[in-house]
Amino acid sequence: MIDVTTYIRPGSLEEALDVLASGEFTPLAGGTDLIPHARGRGPRKMLDLSGLSLDRVTRTASSIEVGACATHSELCRDAVVTKALPLLSKAAALVGTKQVRNRGTLGGNVVNASPCADTVPALLNHDAVAVLVSKDARRKVPVEAFITGPYATCIGPNELLTSIVCEPLEKPTFVSFLKLGRRQAVNISRMSLAVCLMMDGKGSIKGARVSAGAVFPVARRMREVERLLAGESPSKRLFAEAGALAAQLMVKESGVRWSTPYKRPVLAALLERALAEAASGNFGEQ
Amino acid sequence: MKGPQDSATVARVQVSFRLNGVSFRKRVPVDWTLLRYLREGLGYYGTKCGCEIGDCGACTVLYDGVALNACLILAPQVDGVDIWTIEGVAPQGERGLHPVQQAFVERGAVHCGFCTPGFVMSTIALFLETRNPSRQEIKEALAGNLCRCTGYIQILDAVKTAASRLRDRDLKKFVSRRR
């Protein structure tokens, strides 16, 4: 038995925001996280978002707006996303199972705010901004600030996440997304890394973006590592240094835990590998 | 067939949907999953109830042409949806099994059988995407279905066998008009 007392499926955003204004309803997107967690946690009123057409991907001159209800499967096959946001596409492909990817949404992954959410590190590398709409207001919050803690965000009870706006990176940028887990499929991330290397014409790294999931209490950019990489030429030694720095940051921020003796060398090696993969251009150029 | 406990406190929602090619118009309880409604509301017990948290795939159904876990869908969400379960897979009014079912039988892919309906539905969903999947594509499509009798090799072989025999008309009825 799911603890649902009321179910509403509005056909327009206006109607949905009117219902949400009461502050009593839980927005239901794919439900792949929400429905299993709606057992035995007290009564809920569900607001089904599937009638709002929030699953579209729109390209503007400078950015790409992904509807919050786009499913992971749609992110894997959408021509705009796979071309301009390959990290997001790859991250989405590694989520859960086929059945979960067919149903689970980008907005749900972000609002659920699990520290190991796969799409979040990819979004951070694209300076993604969450668009939050309520009956009387509309605001934009960077995804990095939107997620305030493990399973916590700054969304209000009357607000709806309608889309996420991503900035494509300047060319040429080499990217890589690596996920570490116990097995290949149906896998909760132990660690995930999204890497972008923006190259200058002479083979040096002009700038870098490196985001980590399941490493810190909240997924975040590792700007310390990005600064280390900027202006340097790609080399095994540089990437090893970057890995070591990332491991240091993790221990400093997340503290020494039972998993630290494992995670410290593994994070260092994984980042080194992700950087090497990106630099090789094998993963894909954006 | 067991009906839901009807009490004044259980809200219901009117929905119309197609199940295995037949149109239904029903009032469904808002606090039931599609899985529970299929089994206890309509008596379609072919869709199995395993983990109920979207991990095991035993409840996989075709939902507007794609594989979904029925345990992660609320019954009122099915309004307007085209659903296929294992009961609708074999050709109606004919003897015999669907080529996917036949291949599972022949290749020894059915052991205790609990996971089989879910595997069959995931396999049909895969064929709706690609008629000649590679072994890797098969693995990815079936990763959300668990078999505790360790029959994966036989299951992969069965999917390969089914792919080699499939004709257009074996998939026609599963193609959703909504996609």
pLDDT digits (tens, 9 = 90+) for A72-84: 999 999 999 999 9
| Chain B CB within 8 Å of residue A61 CB | no
Residue A259 has phi, psi (to 5 degrees) of -90, -5
| CA A216/CA A202 separation, integer angstroms | 34
Do A9 and B66 make contact, defined as CB atoms within 8 angstroms? no
Q: Tokens at residue A109, please?
A: 């992954």
Count other Cβ atoms within 10 Å, centred on residue A252. 10
Do A99 and B76 make contact, defined as CB atoms within 8 angstroms? no
For the CA atoms of B102, B52, B134, B82, what is the dihedral angle to 10 degrees? 70
Of B156, B83, B70, nearest in space to B119 by CA: B156
Mean pLDDT by 10 residues, chain A (286 residues): 90 97 95 90 91 95 96 96 92 93 97 91 96 97 96 96 93 87 67 92 92 89 96 95 95 87 92 94 56
| Chain B CB within 8 Å of residue A7 CB | yes
| CA A66/CA A236 separation, integer angstroms | 36
- What distances in angstroms separate CA A164 from CA A57, A70, A108, A114, B33, one per listed residue? 10, 10, 11, 17, 29
SS3 category, A280: helix
DSSP category for residue B87: G
Shortest Cα distance, chain B CAs vs residue A18, angstroms = 20
Q: Beginning with the edge strand found earlier in the chain, give each strand of the sheet holding A64-67 in spatial order.
A: A57-59, A64-67, A160-166, A129-133, A138-142
Q: Beginning with the edge strand found earlier in the chain, give each strand of the sheet holding B12-19 in spatial order.
A: B22-29, B12-19, B82-84, B60-63, B66-69
Closest chain B residue to A46, measured at CA: B30
Interface of B with A (CB under 8 A): 11, 13, 30-33, 52-55, 57, 60, 66-69, 71-74, 76-77, 79, 122, 125, 139-144
Shortest Cα distance, chain B CAs vs residue A1, angstroms = 6
Would you tell me which residues 64-83 of chain A have a C-beta closer than 8 angstroms to some C-beta of chain B?
73
Shortest Cα distance, chain A CAs vs residue B171, angstroms = 19
Give contacts of A73 with chain B, Cβ < 8 Å. 66
Alpha helices in B19-151 (DSSP H): 34-36, 99-106, 116-129, 135-142
Do B140 and A185 make contact, defined as CB atoms within 8 angstroms? yes
Q: Tokens at residue A192, please?
A: 């995930």
Q: Which residue has the higher pLDDT, A217 or B108?
A: B108
- What distances in angstroms separate CA B62 from CA A102, A119, B121, one per listed residue? 11, 26, 6
Residue B155 has phi, psi (to 5 degrees) of -70, -45
Of A146, A96, A149, A91, nearest in space to A118 by CA: A91
- Residue B2's pLDDT is 35
β-strand pairing of A173-180 with A160-166: unpaired
Count other Cβ atoms within 10 Å, centred on residue A183. 8
Do B11 and A32 make contact, defined as CB atoms within 8 angstroms? no
Give contacts of A100 with chain B, Cβ < 8 Å. 54, 69, 72, 144
In this predicted complex, what is the ipTM?
Answer: 0.92
Q: Give the one of A9, A50, A102 whose C-beta lies nearest to B68's C-beta.
A: A102
Helix (H) or strand (E) holding A194: strand A191-199
Average pLDDT for B50-75: 97
Give contacts of B51 with chain A, Cβ < 8 Å. none
> Looking up tokens 């429905």, which residue turns up?
A35
DSSP category for residue A167: P
E strand intervals along chain A: 4-8, 25-28, 44-48, 57-59, 64-67, 129-133, 138-142, 147-149, 152-153, 160-166, 173-180, 191-199, 205-213, 220-221
| CA A115/CA A150 separation, integer angstroms | 5
Give contacts of B77 with chain A, Cβ < 8 Å. 9, 31, 48, 50
At position B61, the amino acid (one-letter code) is V
Closest chain B residue to A103, measured at CA: B68
Do B74 and A36 make contact, defined as CB atoms within 8 angstroms? no
| CA A242/CA A219 separation, integer angstroms | 18
If phi > 0 it is left, if psi is from -120 to 50 it is alpha, else beta; for residue B108 that is left
Shortest Cα distance, chain A CAs vs residue B111, angstroms = 23
Give contacts of A98 with chain B, Cβ < 8 Å. 67, 122, 125, 140-144
CB–CB contacts below 8 A, A to B = 93
**What is the tally of helices (H) and strands (E) in chain A?**
11, 14
Do B140 and A31 make contact, defined as CB atoms within 8 angstroms? no
Cis preceding linkage at A172, omega within 30: yes
pLDDT reading at B16 higher than 50 = yes
B94, B101 Cβ separation under 8 angstroms: no
Do B76 and A31 make contact, defined as CB atoms within 8 angstroms? no
Percent of chain B with pLDDT over 90: 88
Helix (H) or strand (E) holding A119: helix A119-125
Shortest Cα distance, chain B CAs vs residue A179, angstroms = 16
Q: Give the one of B54, B77, B142 whose C-beta lies nearest to A50's C-beta.
A: B77
Question: Taking the CA of residue A272 as centre, how many other CA atoms within 13 Å lie in the half-sphere pointing to its CB?
Answer: 17
DSSP category for residue B168: G
A25, A19 Cβ separation under 8 angstroms: yes
Residue A75 has phi, psi (to 5 degrees) of -65, -30
β-strand pairing of A64-67 with A160-166: antiparallel
Q: Tokens at residue A87, please?
A: 């990290």
> Looking up tokens 């879910």, which residue turns up?
B118
pLDDT reading at B5 higher than 80 = no
pLDDT reading at B4 higher than 50 = no
B6: confidence class by pLDDT, cuts 50, 70, 90: very low
Do A96 and B122 make contact, defined as CB atoms within 8 angstroms? no
Do A4 and B31 make contact, defined as CB atoms within 8 angstroms? yes
pLDDT reading at B7 higher than 50 = no
Residue B174 has phi, psi (to 5 degrees) of -85, -15
Q: Give the one of B30, B122, B143 whose C-beta lies nearest to A185's C-beta.
A: B143
How many residues in total does chain B contain? 179
